[in-house]
Structure 1
Amino acid sequence: MAKKLELSDLKLTGISVLDSEFSRNIAVDFQHWQQENDNYEFSIVPTLANAKNDANSARVTLEAQLFSKDFKERDKPFYMRVKTAFYFQDTADYQDGSTVLDKYAANMISMAFPYVRAYIQTVTSLSGISSVTVPGINVFKLMEDMSKESDL
């Protein structure tokens, strides 16, 4: 017998690119570099915030980076950083003191990441190098790591 799924009323209500930076090292032939390397030194840092006086609304900020600012000194093909904000709303009744973040933080990051991934892919393809597709992320591991860092 099939179990009935509980559907969420969580909605992504807005997306904003807050900051973006891309610099290319033309001394490095990206096609050649790409054939010999598979590590893009990718990192992503989420920041979660509840809306003031509204338990149903929250913002997730994702800051993604490929390589580091010293990419030229390290003979890397480029440096890219993008910071994006994603706005969410839920219609649930949060009168118990909990918030939409308490219930859906992992879902929000999972919903936001594909936009960041597509942004990176688009910017790299428009920059004169091959399109770069960053790997998927383990949202639960990312949140576990965030929790460990906040306990320090």
Structure 2
Amino acid sequence: MSIDSELILKNVRVKSLNYSINEAIDLSEIKDVDILISPTPKLAKDDIHSGVVELSVELFDEFYIENNKPFHIEIVVQGMFTDSDQTSNMNVFEKYFPNMISILYPYVRSYISATTGMFGIQNVQIPAINVYDLMTNLSKSNNKK
């Protein structure tokens, strides 16, 4: 049995980061965080074995001031992936999409923690996620549309 993975992470980068604080709130006592996670797969133009996952994570929402929340952060992280098994007829997302989210999410957690700390508020630690539950919930919400 081999422990080598056919899924290869080529690169990770931050595509965008938006950050705003609510100056009317004491930022030293942030407890619960509202979080929205939205993964978007994008296949390479001429290669079903390569693609980009954009993982968007939003803490609170754009109505954070009206809702009396401490801040709003939205970060989009891109992961460039390839499948080294070029013989498969399945595209890279059919084979590995949940794995890709599992790989990218710790980067997002780290970026959010570091960013909030550098911006002068306590480091915000977002929770780990159950990717299976996330995929199930995303599937349910897409079926309602």
Under a length normalisation based on structure 2, what TM-score does the superposition of the two structures give? 0.90
Give the 4+ runs in structure 1 shifted more than 4 A: none
Separation in 1, partners of 2:41, 2:87:
18
Residues 121-145 of structure 1: per-residue CA shift (max 9 Å, x gap): 1110011110001001111111122
Report the Cα offset of residue 146 of structure 1: 2.3
Aligned residue in 2 for 1:137: 129
Q: CA deviation at 1:118?
A: 0.7
Match of 2:44 in 1: 51
1:98-151 CA distance string (max 9 Å, x none): 111111111111001111111111110011110001001111111122223333
In structure 1, give the amino acid aligned to 2:126.
V
RMSD: 1.6
Q: 1:29 aligns with which of 26, 30, 37?
A: 26
Percent identity reads: 35
Q: What is the rounded CA distance, in whole Å, between the counterparts of 2:143 and 2:58 in structure 1? A: 24
Report whether the alignment pairs 1:123 with 2:115: yes
How much does 1:49 deviate?
2.0
* 1:109 matches 2:106: no
Amino acid at match of 2:65: K
Structure 1 position 18 matched with structure 2 position 11: no
Cα 1:27/1:149, change in 2 over 3 Å: closer
Larger radius of gyration between Structure 1 and Structure 2:
1
The structural deviation recorded for 1:70 is 1.7
